[in-house]
Chains A and B, each alone.
Chain A
Amino acid sequence: MNENEILRIENLTKKYFNKTALEDVNMSVEKGKIYGLLGPNGSGKTTLMKVIAQLHKQSSGHVFINGNPLSYESKASISYMPTENFLYDSFKVKHAVKFYADMYKDFREDYAMNILEEIKVDPEFRIAKLSSGLNGKLKVALALSRNADLYMLDEPLNGVDVLSRDTIMELISKSYDETKTFIISTHLVSEIEKILDSVIFLKDGRVELFGDAEELRLSKGTSVEGLYKEVYKNV
């Protein structure tokens, strides 16, 4: 195992009914980098994240976090933000913060409250009544308020307005340091391209392209967005 490796995936396959969502995925993710998990809807991005977060069980293959096979204990090292509205509707924002503080030892409550103030999410708001933009910002704020090894943000820019997208991008940039690894899935490549160190292109559940963003830009003579259009032009 590479000392700098935080996540290793070997021959990972995930099937639903008669559909194969992921097929023979192999990859190694290094510490201290921001990875873009890119692909159109249905390419397997969400499934891959859910398998790593252990909300889904793989049909075959192996996933290792910090060299150890996935277990409930590895959830303590992973801060996962699902794309869906998963927070309890009946909770107020402050209850969700408290829930995270109670459940995750690495959660920084004061940090979270500061972010909420910064992004103008009132802790007294009921989650059921939040707009999609505020809900998106809240989910990101909760995930980033943990001091985890690996952050997985599934479509953090989905369903939020342009201003909120800027806020979310700013939050991610501010949270990053070389001890943390980010995997951010999106199909809004242009919005996120500037912060990516590496890219993973998924197509029909398979890794189509994986590499350093800058090297790919130089070798292919185009931006990551350009590459995205090239890879998925027939999808």
Chain B
Amino acid sequence: MFKLLKYEFIRKYKLITMTLISALVLNLYLLTRGIAGSSSFLLLFPLVLAVLYVSDVIRTYSDDLNKKSGYMLFMTPNSGYKIIMSKLAAAVIEGIGMLFIYFLFILINGAFIIYQTRSYVDINEVMNDINTLLSGNIGINLGHVFVFLFAVLVFAIGFIVTVYTAMTIRKSIFSEIKFGGFLSFIIFLGLNWALTYASGEFYSIVSPQYGSFVNVTTVSASELLVIMFPVIAVSIIQSIILTFCSGYLLEKKINL
């Protein structure tokens, strides 16, 4: 598994490095535009990063299934389960890495904003200042941001696994059928519908247990985590089931 992961990142490192250098250059440029530039960067960067992240993890798997270079991976004596798990582990690590990088940018830009307003930077105060800044107008703190970003990561992985499963079905069960690409998209929509329906049913059962929090005006980060727990748990369970299905198909039915 570790070796598979290693080569996942060897294949990605150039793209990741280029993205980071571009982000750094853009951020440095926007810092010259003062607080407004820095704030714009902090708002726009996560959106760009999210799009790049999702497209990168989908493209990597798509290349393995649809290009001849995929033979290199699928010829190795690794089970389908191990291959799909390594893909997901790489996606999770990449996602966490990107979150971490975003937080580094928050720290850099936060320090810059503080320096612009006070003309000095006390490193010990930076985290508190950012927290204060975040809680100033919209009533959230760094804890809320962490919970929110964690949930986003879980949902992103759920989405990626669904896409992976649709692509795997296309290259296994439906590989000998015409219009497979279109079929793959239909499968993805079908899977999404089925999962949304199943999770909707689940929420309707558990929501009475969690409804009491919804009316609370100020929700702490830990309360937010509790409120979001069913949604996050369902997404994780879905991801596990779909990963298992993909692993089975890669193992038993694949046609590259």
Of the candidates B3, B78, B255, the one whose C-beta lies within 8 Å of that of A56 is B255
User: A87 to B3, alpha carbons, bound, how many Å?
Assistant: 17
Of the candidates A15, A59, A99, the one whose C-beta lies within 8 Å of that of B72 is A99
Residue A177 CB within 8 A of the other chain = no
Map CB proximity to B onto A48-89 as digits: 1 under 8 Å, 0 otherwise.
001001111101000000000000111110001010111111
Residue A95 CB within 8 A of the other chain = yes
Residue B154 CB within 8 A of the other chain = no
Map CB proximity to A onto B59-85 as digits: 1 under 8 Å, 0 otherwise.
000000000111110111111100000
Residue B176 CB within 8 A of the other chain = yes
A17-B176, A99-B7 known; A89 vs B69 contact (CB < 8 Å): yes
Q: Number of contacts between A and B (CB, 8 Å)? A: 68
Contact B77 A56 (CB under 8 A): no
Contact B68 A104 (CB under 8 A): no
Contact A85 B68 (CB under 8 A): yes
Q: Which residues of A have CB within 8 Å of B74?
A: 54-55
Contact B176 A15 (CB under 8 A): yes
Taking residues whose C-beta sits less than 8 angstroms from the other chain, chain B's interface range is 20 to 34
Contact A103 B10 (CB under 8 A): no
Taking residues whose C-beta sits less than 8 angstroms from the other chain, chain A's interface range is 20 to 34
Contact B254 A75 (CB under 8 A): no
Map CB proximity to A onto B244-256 as digits: 1 under 8 Å, 0 otherwise.
0000000111111
User: A120 to B3, alpha carbons, bound, how many Å?
Assistant: 28
Main secondary structure of the interface of A (DSSP, over half): loop
Give the distance to chain A from B255, nearest Cβ to Cβ, in Å: 5
Give the distance to chain A from B106, nearest Cβ to Cβ, in Å: 32
User: A54 to B252, alpha carbons, bound, how many Å?
Assistant: 9
Give the distance to chain B from A19, nearest Cβ to Cβ, in Å: 9
Residue A117 CB within 8 A of the other chain = no
Of the candidates B3, B70, B76, the one whose C-beta lies within 8 Å of that of A75 is B76
Residue A102 CB within 8 A of the other chain = yes
Residue A90 CB within 8 A of the other chain = yes
16 A-B pairs in the complex with CB atoms less than 8 angstroms apart: A15-B176, A50-B256, A53-B75, A55-B256, A57-B254, A72-B77, A84-B71, A86-B68, A87-B69, A88-B69, A90-B11, A90-B14, A95-B10, A102-B3, A103-B78, A104-B77
